Structure 1
Amino acid sequence: MSSIMDTHHVKQQLKSLVEDLPPELRRHILSFLPLSDLRNFVRASPYYHAQYREDRLYILRSSLYNTLSNVTIDAFAVHCSRSRKFIEARTPARVVKYLRDYRSLQLLDVSARMTEDNAIQMVGCYFRAIRPAIRQYVRYTAAKLNESIGVSPACGSTKLSSTEETRVVRGLYRLQLYSHLFSVGPHNGLGSGFITKDREAHLLGSSLFFADSEPWEVEEFWCVYLFAKTTYDEMLEYFRPEINRKLEPVTELLRYHHPQLSPTLSDLDGWYLREIVVDAYISRGLQMMSSIRNFLDDTGDLAAIKYRLLSHHGIGVNISYRSKLMQRLRYDKHPCEKDYLSAARDPLPFEGDSETRPSSAWTLTWSGTYSNLYGEYIPNKLREWGYVMWDEARIKDTGADKLLSSQLQAEWKGVDPRSRRR
């Protein structure tokens, strides 16, 4: 009994010492915490809560960087492009300008431009949408990996390293940003994606979106996209008749303007209609996707999910098809430096896990050489278990390196797809 009391006394003394620190030291301590720890700390102590309220912008800005590192830039771009006003005013020229501004952003620029309201909303987005999506993504891909290598679903740790979490978070934010710039977006009442008759303008926007990202970062995007698409594909089976009825006016209009697509627009079994409907749902945001994933995992409310699906339908942009066109157009007409490095198969060995370097699985995929191919050139079987997201230790410990080799052999039949692009 006395031992318990002694321990409690020591804890109280430590708490008193921490809370009695000068304000500038309390501020300094809070500025070094990631968001989850900051939230717990501020909730646990009225002294630190008061300090947080006094210096909220500085502390939140610091904590966002402590949590997101360089992905803070992507989070800021997502926040700034989310408003209904921005999405309704999109034109090819405005989207291109926004992308160029986004690509030129540095962390110091974000820090200077971020207001307290920006910071509060970005933190809210992180806790409401990003954190749940991380957990769901890791759980889903771990199950897929275990299924593929034939081990118990409970095997393997789902605790992420800092580099693994950065890769997943970067993919999540960039999927959301793409949706804000090119698809329906998060606001109800905007029934279709950003559509222009100028296909070249559309492809230029898509090309710029990926232009400054390394190809393995683009694959992070596609891994997260496949997870979101699978989530909605599974969900649509529950409400197929109701959604088909909701889509009848839209499909009639599409048949009128694109008669060549009529066979693919009959209902959700038609590949084209399904693709653009699912892309529209994905663009509604990670929070909606997470609630649907919860239902699929037996923890969500069916009635609430049905209401959201039937009231938030729309027509998206078929991201996969556009990516194919964009890559082919770039490679055939406007090759970039990365394409030349890819054609030359410049050496790119694995140099350890880092936020800015390729993961072990990426270098294994391309035998330690540079490749600027992604999207259609990579088998979806690899993306199902999130191949580019994981550190070398996880890849080796789980036997995922052998799985990757066998899946590539089955898809590529021993022929490097870069050979077909020569």
Structure 2
Amino acid sequence: MPITSDNNDDDDAASGRQMLEELVITDSSGQDLSTHSSSQLESLPAELRDLILSHIPDLPTLRALVRASPTMHAQYRTNRDALLRACLARELDGCFVDAYACLKSHVASFGEERTDETIQTFLERYRSWPGDRIQLAAWTRSMPAPAAGWRRFMSQLSGLLCKRFAIWALENLARAASGVAFTEKASVQVADINLATKEAELVQAQQQPVLSKSELRRIFSALYQYEMFLGVFDPWQVDAIACIDVFIRQKYTAILDEIQQDLCDESSKYRVRGFHLKGPPLTKKWYDDYIDGTTSRGLQVAARILQVTDHDTLVAVMSKSLTLWFRLWDEDDLMPNLTARDEAEMRRDLMDFAGDDGPPGGPPLAWVLLWDGRYANLYGGYTPASTKSWGYVMWDERQWDELGAKDLIQKQWEEIEPDYIDMMERDYGWCPPIQWYDCEDTA
């Protein structure tokens, strides 16, 4: 799961030719054969060429290689579906099911009518899809070849959102580790800065974060799950999704800060109906409603907006993407019956950190530390806002050790209002391990 940006055709071909030159550079006696390596690879038997293609680690590498060599392209065409399935399964190791469910939840696959019955059927199918590696391998072989739309969607995620999220969250965490206090608009730029251009320059100039396989898996799973819905996931997975949500909302808020005059000016062709220049151009309610609505449109809209690098285009794209949010349900209807997770919380089950190299799905270190080693089915507004701006449930123990930031996690409970903690203790039998709060015996 790379976090490099999507290359253009010329770059793909160039990097593919470089790969061909580097794949075979010595013979069995150690003699340098680098000047003949491309032709050596292309002259291999078809079975060996197919074997090489079947072990390519990711889609950008596969694409670059087949575009660089007519011979390898012809070989790829003979077994295209199987090679694409194998490559995607390898690239999405640990989150392939989430990616596939994300694809199947789109309107083109799911259908326009989303009734309770169709959603329940989808949930049952999603729960039945295998998580075991052996079962998953057999399951992927029976799937149709990945559609071009899915491959483009993956390319957007790996090339833009994953990289930008990692930079954003790790910068916030590093600031917190150095003593900079969190604010809701920590990453919002001042109004006189061209945000889109500055963001693009930062992404180009900054070194790519060095992320482990488990960290990439968590970010990608959160991105795919963000594209669906929350009710079937473990609480730490929901908070991983919330980290993505905070990231996108802060970016949209910063963009509105920059372009609101263009959206309000009556002479502007991009003026949004209902925006006006009397008093503050956009009230907090306008921000909240439009941020909620635009965020709800998902990752493809976010990727389209965040890749814009000039002000005029940003105004045009954002004005077309802005969506007003309406609450059409009774929140009481959303409260579920007790689940196995609720019961584990009521029993105050112990929750251990099993390491970062184990099977995917277990709680990361930061989640275990936040809840003091006890199971909690609380997330979202029940966890400190600052932790989500760090992407706290994405990172391996290594990241926390390198930043010396483990102690920061439980300290964030100090930002929660005491009345709120009283409610958590009363309703859920839990209180944070902080010195100033007098916890009753809830065990």
TM-score above 0.5: yes
Following the alignment from structure 2 to structure 1, what is the Cα–Cα distance between the partners of residues 161 and 289? Answer: 22
In structure 1, what is the equivalent of residue 433 of structure 2? none
Do residues 111 (structure 1) and 132 (structure 2) align? no
Distance of aligned partners of 1:267 and 1:98 in 2 relative to their CA distance in 1, 3 Å threshold = farther
Structure 1 segments, 4+ long, off by >6 Å, are: 151-157
Q: Structure 2: 5+ residue runs without aligned partners?
A: 1-24, 131-135, 181-201, 265-270, 429-443
In the alignment of these two chains, the number of paired residues is 359
Q: Are 1:359 and 1:390, in contact at CA under 8 Å, matched by a contact in 2?
A: yes
In structure 2, what is the equivalent of residue 124 of structure 1? 152
Structure 1 residue identity aligned to 2:383: I
Do residues 71 (structure 1) and 95 (structure 2) align? yes
2:283 to 269, 287, 298: 269
C-alpha displacement of 1:149: 1.9
C-alpha displacement of 1:71: 1.7
Which secondary structure does the structure 1 equivalent of 2:92 belong to? helix
Distance of aligned partners of 1:86 and 1:351 in 2 relative to their CA distance in 1, 3 Å threshold = closer
In structure 1, what is the equivalent of residue 242 of structure 2? 222
Q: Are 2:82 and 2:141, in contact at CA under 8 Å, matched by a contact in 1?
A: no
Q: Are 1:73 and 1:110, in contact at CA under 8 Å, matched by a contact in 2?
A: no
Q: Are 1:130 and 1:172, in contact at CA under 8 Å, matched by a contact in 2?
A: no
Following the alignment from structure 1 to structure 2, what is the Cα–Cα distance between the partners of residues 287 and 130? Answer: 12
Do residues 173 (structure 1) and 196 (structure 2) align? no
In structure 2, what is the equivalent of residue 260 of structure 1? none
Following the alignment from structure 2 to structure 1, what is the Cα–Cα distance between the partners of residues 71 and 378? Answer: 53
More helix per residue: 1
Q: Which TM-score applies when normalising by structure 1? A: 0.75
Following the alignment from structure 1 to structure 2, what is the Cα–Cα distance between the partners of residues 172 and 210? Answer: 15
* Percentage of matched positions with identical amino acids: 28
Distance of aligned partners of 1:340 and 1:83 in 2 relative to their CA distance in 1, 3 Å threshold = closer
Following the alignment from structure 1 to structure 2, what is the Cα–Cα distance between the partners of residues 156 and 405? Answer: 30
In structure 2, what is the equivalent of residue 350 of structure 1? 353
Which secondary structure does the structure 2 equivalent of 1:246 belong to? coil
In structure 1, what is the equivalent of residue 121 of structure 2? 97
Q: Structure 1: 5+ residue runs without aligned partners?
A: 1-5, 179-208, 250-265
Following the alignment from structure 2 to structure 1, what is the Cα–Cα distance between the partners of residues 208 and 409? Answer: 19
Following the alignment from structure 2 to structure 1, what is the Cα–Cα distance between the partners of residues 114 and 339? Answer: 27
Q: Are 2:364 and 2:394, in contact at CA under 8 Å, matched by a contact in 1?
A: yes
Following the alignment from structure 2 to structure 1, what is the Cα–Cα distance between the partners of residues 327 and 160? Answer: 25
Q: Are 1:377 and 1:417, in contact at CA under 8 Å, matched by a contact in 2?
A: no
Could you report, residue by residue, the CA deviation over 1:293-334 in whole angstroms, capped at 9, with x for unpaired residues?
345xxxx12222211211222234679x99x8677x23xxx1
Structure 1 residue identity aligned to 2:379: Y
Q: Are 1:176 and 1:285, in contact at CA under 8 Å, matched by a contact in 2?
A: yes
C-alpha displacement of 1:285: 3.8
C-alpha displacement of 1:357: 1.5
Q: How does 1:185-200 map to 2 (within 5 A)?
A: none
Q: How does 1:217-256 map to 2 (within 5 A)?
A: 217-241=237-261, 243=263, 246-248=272-274
1:419 to 419, 425, 441: 425
Do residues 143 (structure 1) and 195 (structure 2) align? no
Q: Which TM-score applies when normalising by structure 2? A: 0.71
Following the alignment from structure 1 to structure 2, what is the Cα–Cα distance between the partners of residues 308 and 421? Answer: 45
Do residues 386 (structure 1) and 381 (structure 2) align? no
